[in-house]
Structure 1
Amino acid sequence: MNLWTSGWKSGPGTTIAVAILIAAIYYGIEHLPDASTRPDYAPDAETMGAAFEQVDVRRRLGVLALAALGAAGLWFGRAEARWNGGLVGTALAAFTVLPFFSVLWSDAPGVTIRRSVVFGLSLWAAAGLCRLLSGRQLVWAALVAVCVQFGVGLLTELFLGTFRPWESDYRFAGTIHPNMQALQLGVGVVASAVLLLRPGRRGGRWSDFRGPLLCAVAAALLLFCLLTKSRTSVGGVIAAVAAVAVFLSSGPTKNLLAIGGVGLAGAVIVVLLLTGLDPTDDIRDAAMMGRSEDAGSLSGRVQIWDALDPYVADRPLLGYGYLTFWSERRLYALHSEVGFKFAGAHSAWYETALGLGIPGAILLATILLGGMSRAASAELAEQRVGGTGGSPLPAFLFGVLALAALNSLLEAIIADVRLTTLVMYCGLGKATFFPDARSEGRRAD
């Protein structure tokens, strides 16, 4: 079923323009130019309380731009809208409408309405992008958008004088919290790796430079991901890229990667033992990325979750309304109970359960895990049909969802409206509602 009759043939120029626009929109919605100068890289309780009660002008402009982007994509795009959702599509549809229904029982209906509209328009924009761009173009758009925001963040730190990687306590933030920055850079690393392994149709003026360029971009993004010192995201990036690399490799290469990885780990252990050193402390400090002081309590997350448990138990089925739990009153109460300041649940599962109840958290789990299964099946189909020239989207979606699932355990980033979640919903929308009509191995990038 084709819902629209108009069409626009999207090329590289469209992909780049859309990527820059997305980067600009989400910069206005979620970024703080002075984030790297803040003690905790995030708004304090007073700022969060004010944001809870007031409408931010930058966010309002970003929301309007999201609405326009979605409308333009749906009007000018050419991909047919087809129901191919199954369990994942049903869960995604239910998760889309649940925030709006939560207005009925929200503690702050006005705030719930505003944030539900932002969430809805983000999905609206994702639908427009799915109709406008092919799967390969979506992967390129995600990579360009991440690089644009990364470049702006690096230039901002250089301008503010906060770029000091030689200092032991330095964390690269750019214009968002280092944990968010790491996840975003991780999406760029996954996109680069997938585009390297799924090069598509050869030919064109810059075909010979594409591979080295993607390698350089991936190396730079990974380096700065390490500089964020976000243990959760860095571990997730390494795991996601390794999974994608093995997933996309042929049978002999898979065996080589597996044997090589085990062999390298064994060689490192043997060398350490032969030197007579006890590497336990050094390995532990390296794994904690120099932030091992609170490792036993996951940097205070255990205390936060213990304090949040009674709130979840009070409203297990409905929650407190979409993204409206963190009022200034509750923030101060929780800060007093825990004994230190924090700005969120640091877990997508707690954040979703607080906003939409345990059923909302179950829907999120279905989307993540079911989406990974759907992406894996689509990737196997691509390998049978297109080989290395097939669409990179299934493998990219698999990597992004794996990264999101790992990150969700210790961070609440994917429970909010952000560039990373837009990319995730674009991949899910393409897989369930706007599939490409033919293998991209037979079309140009």
Structure 2
Amino acid sequence: MKLLLGAEKIFTVISLLTLTGAWFPRLYEIISGESLIVLTSEGVVALQIPFYSIYITTFALILLRWRKIIQALVKGKLLLLLVAIAIVSILWSDAPAITLRRSLAVSGATSFGIYFATRYSHKEQLHLLAWTFGIAVLSSILFTIALPAYAIVPDPNSTALGSVLQGVYIHKNVFGRMMTLSTIVLAIVAFSDSKSRYLAWITLSLAVSQVLLSFSTSSWIILAIVIALFPLYRALRWNFSWMLLLYIAVALFCGGLAVLITSNLDLVLNSLGKDLTLTGRTKVWSAVIDKIGERPWLGYGYSAFWRGNEGASAYVRLASGWKVAFSHNGLLDLWLDLGLIGVSVYLIGFFKAYTQAITWMRWSKTSYGLWHLILLTFIFLTNFSESTILKSNDIFWVLYTATYFSLSQSSIDA
């Protein structure tokens, strides 16, 4: 029995690592010579094999615990409704074949998130994630040492050195996000009373160095914000009067910071190596909003909008002057996919999970209790400039699903 349980944990860690986008996409790029930044991984059959292997195995494991799964599904109706809308959107999709394929993939990713939430306690989830991201950190370092020509790539716009680190991932921003998430997970474990906290501290220091070497300014900013929020979230465990004073202090700080940034926008953006259009993103957003206005309620169908120079996305490329493959904003991409209806369902579910995360954190007295609240904050911040909402074969959607169902369960283990 112990052997089977150990094998299941190994399967979980390998699955989580695969869902981060480590190794397989990068190796494909090296072998084929094709860039997956241009050719998305969803269109590469060879890269789908690991994911569908994970989902088939997950389905078998779910069947073994079907009673517990059904109990969880009853309490996660909003998230399931969002996935159902994605599947049904094939009826109005501009690209039904793409919608069908990717809705199956996002259903698989959702299933894995549900399995992860119902199979493991909060503490077990954090430890498995610590192993996952620890492997991601160490393998990126080893990859950089062994094959620096592939792990370190030219990028004169990001650093005076003319190159950035991307490790075992396909882009510096992907690498930066994963190392930031690694830092968060490892920090929570390191601050716990876990026997492995010393190992977590060592790996944490390596993860922080990887974030810095990615030269992903968005990752730097998000990590700084999350670090600042750690003690503030812990303070939510205090009595109400202290909480009220804290909220006032935070509001004043954020207001002052907003004024400072607004009044020195040119200086701030130039210091980050960006122009006033945020690397062209505002032009993209403007064009995307134009297309949203044409089909505001139901969108263009799940994953059916961005098709290069085909269909509606051609207008965005032409208007922005940028060969963009997504809108660089999570809510805008969701709006394009599933319209205002899909966005509304997601936001209601997100705020429900956020309030539950605050409640859970206040009741929990360990560092593990911070995990769900910090993760939701990280997802919220990330989706200002990237798109990770309802994405197939994606670790962020898996973890959001796991958090949603973990918090929705009436009995939660610490």
Q: TM-score range by the shorter chain?
A: 0.7 to 0.9
> Structure 1 stretch 13-22 or stretch 112-121: which is displaced more?
13-22
| Aligned CA distance change for structure 1 residues 179 and 74 (closer, same or farther; 3 Å) | farther
The correspondence for 1:406, drawn from 369, 381, 386, is 381
Pair 1:199-2:203 in alignment: no
- The aligned counterpart of 2:306 is 326
Query: Aligned partners of 1:179, 1:37: CA distance in 2, in Å?
Result: 22
- The aligned counterpart of 2:16 is 22
| Aligned CA distance change for structure 1 residues 38 and 306 (closer, same or farther; 3 Å) | farther
Query: Aligned partners of 1:72, 1:185: CA distance in 2, in Å?
Result: 29
- The aligned counterpart of 1:432 is 408
Query: Aligned partners of 1:58, 1:241: CA distance in 2, in Å?
Result: 35
- The aligned counterpart of 2:234 is 248
Contact map agreement 1:241 1:399 (CA 8 A) in 2:
no
Contact map agreement 1:71 1:128 (CA 8 A) in 2:
no
- The aligned counterpart of 1:72 is 61
- Alpha-carbon shift at residue 225 of structure 1 (Å): 1.6
- The aligned counterpart of 2:273 is 292
What secondary structure does 2:27 align onto? coil
Q: CA offsets, 1:31-79, max 9 Å, x none?
A: 33376999997522xx35xx67x56222144123222124225526996
- The aligned counterpart of 1:136 is 123
- The aligned counterpart of 1:380 is 362
Query: Aligned partners of 2:22, 2:104: CA distance in 1, in Å?
Result: 16
- Aligned residue pairs total 386
- The aligned counterpart of 1:112 is 99
Query: Aligned partners of 1:108, 1:305: CA distance in 2, in Å?
Result: 22
> Structure 1 stretch 108-117 or stretch 127-136: which is displaced more?
127-136
Contact map agreement 1:42 1:343 (CA 8 A) in 2:
no
Query: Aligned partners of 1:127, 1:334: CA distance in 2, in Å?
Result: 35
The correspondence for 2:200, drawn from 210, 214, 226, is 214
Contact map agreement 1:23 1:149 (CA 8 A) in 2:
yes
| Aligned CA distance change for structure 1 residues 429 and 124 (closer, same or farther; 3 Å) | same
- Alpha-carbon shift at residue 98 of structure 1 (Å): 0.9
What secondary structure does 2:299 align onto? coil
- Alpha-carbon shift at residue 28 of structure 1 (Å): 7.7
- The aligned counterpart of 1:365 is 347
What secondary structure does 1:345 align onto? coil
Q: Percent identity?
A: 17
Contact map agreement 2:94 2:300 (CA 8 A) in 1:
yes
Pair 1:421-2:401 in alignment: no
Query: Aligned partners of 2:21, 2:36: CA distance in 1, in Å?
Result: 15
| Aligned CA distance change for structure 1 residues 18 and 365 (closer, same or farther; 3 Å) | same
Q: CA offsets, 1:397-424, max 9 Å, x none?
A: 1111101001111111334231122122
| Aligned CA distance change for structure 1 residues 406 and 28 (closer, same or farther; 3 Å) | closer
Query: Aligned partners of 1:219, 1:289: CA distance in 2, in Å?
Result: 29
Q: Which runs of no fewer than 5 residues in structure 1 stay unpaired?
A: 1-6, 201-206, 266-279, 441-445
Query: Aligned partners of 1:39, 1:307: CA distance in 2, in Å?
Result: 32
Contact map agreement 2:72 2:405 (CA 8 A) in 1:
no
The correspondence for 1:335, drawn from 299, 310, 317, is 317
- Alpha-carbon shift at residue 343 of structure 1 (Å): 2.2
Query: Aligned partners of 2:21, 2:362: CA distance in 1, in Å?
Result: 36
Contact map agreement 2:86 2:338 (CA 8 A) in 1:
yes
Query: Aligned partners of 2:179, 2:4: CA distance in 1, in Å?
Result: 26
- The aligned counterpart of 2:213 is 227
Query: Aligned partners of 2:112, 2:140: CA distance in 1, in Å?
Result: 24
Q: Which runs of no fewer than 5 residues in structure 2 stay unpaired?
A: 254-262
Query: Aligned partners of 2:28, 2:348: CA distance in 1, in Å?
Result: 37
What is the TM-score with the length of structure 2 in the denominator? 0.80
Contact map agreement 1:29 1:58 (CA 8 A) in 2:
no
Contact map agreement 2:82 2:342 (CA 8 A) in 1:
yes
The correspondence for 1:356, drawn from 338, 343, 348, is 338
Query: Aligned partners of 1:64, 1:353: CA distance in 2, in Å?
Result: 30
- Alpha-carbon shift at residue 11 of structure 1 (Å): 6.3
> Structure 1 stretch 190-199 or stretch 401-410: which is displaced more?
190-199
Query: Aligned partners of 1:323, 1:424: CA distance in 2, in Å?
Result: 19
Pair 1:170-2:163 in alignment: yes
- Give, as a single letter, the amino acid of the residue that structure 1 aligns with 2:273: S
What secondary structure does 1:82 align onto? helix
- The aligned counterpart of 2:258 is none
The within-5 A match list for 1:262-301 is: 291-294=272-275, 296-301=276-281
- The aligned counterpart of 1:96 is 83
Query: Aligned partners of 2:340, 2:161: CA distance in 1, in Å?
Result: 40
- Alpha-carbon shift at residue 30 of structure 1 (Å): 7.6
- Alpha-carbon shift at residue 212 of structure 1 (Å): 2.5
| Aligned CA distance change for structure 1 residues 236 and 367 (closer, same or farther; 3 Å) | farther
What is the TM-score with the length of structure 1 in the denominator? 0.74
What secondary structure does 2:208 align onto? helix
- Give, as a single letter, the amino acid of the residue that structure 1 aligns with 2:400: M
- Give, as a single letter, the amino acid of the residue that structure 1 aligns with 2:383: S
